[in-house]
Amino acid sequence: MLPGLALAAIAAGCLTPEDDVVQFVDDFEAGLATWALEGDVSIVTTYHPGEHAARLGPGARMSHALDVRRAIGEDGGWRDGFSDGNWLEYTTDCGGRPTLALEPATSPPGPQVRIRLGLDAPPAPDLLRRKHMLPALPAFVGDGDASGEVRFTALVIEAGARCHLDTLQLMVSGGSIGY
């Protein structure tokens, strides 16, 4: 009986299995068929283990639909609009400082948001791994919404200069993850 109580106590404070799972992954090995593309976007061969990457030209835009729903409010992982278990990670030669934003996906704004990654600088000499924490939820999320959830509906990537993108991963945690 004691082992059962110990497991129940541990489980009460644990994240659910979905909380510890990356919600979206694309290594571009299967091409770009699942992406909506605007401008100069293509698949190219690279010289690293993934072997393929998306090459974006200046002004290119690619977007992918998502359906990731998470609770907000007192019991959700987004207390005070932020949870540190939410990040976007990718390999790139895009130089400079990228921008990562949560934007309204509907008009008027509501609980549906899209994630936008802006890559504006010319390429660096090497492919590097980058990981960015998602910003806090915008103020419009939760305004007048009785559902108590936020829904991530799209991932949008925009390039201001020619560069490559590979092995993209999105984590949107449902739990309140701490250090």
13 band by pLDDT with thresholds 50, 70 and 90: very low
The CATH classification number of 17-171 equals 2.60.120
Residue 104 CA to residue 106 CA, distance in Å, equals 6
pTM: 0.81
Q: Give the chain's radius of gyration (CA, Å).
A: 18
Residue 127 burial (CB < 10 Å; 0-12/13-18/19+)? buried
141 band by pLDDT with thresholds 50, 70 and 90: confident
CB 95, CB 179: distance < 8 Å: no
Q: What is the mean pLDDT of the chain?
A: 80
Over the stretch 86-139, which tens digit does the pLDDT of each residue have? 899 999 999 888 999 999 999 988 889 999 999 988 888 888 899 999 988 887
Break the chain into its structural domains and give their ranges: 17-171
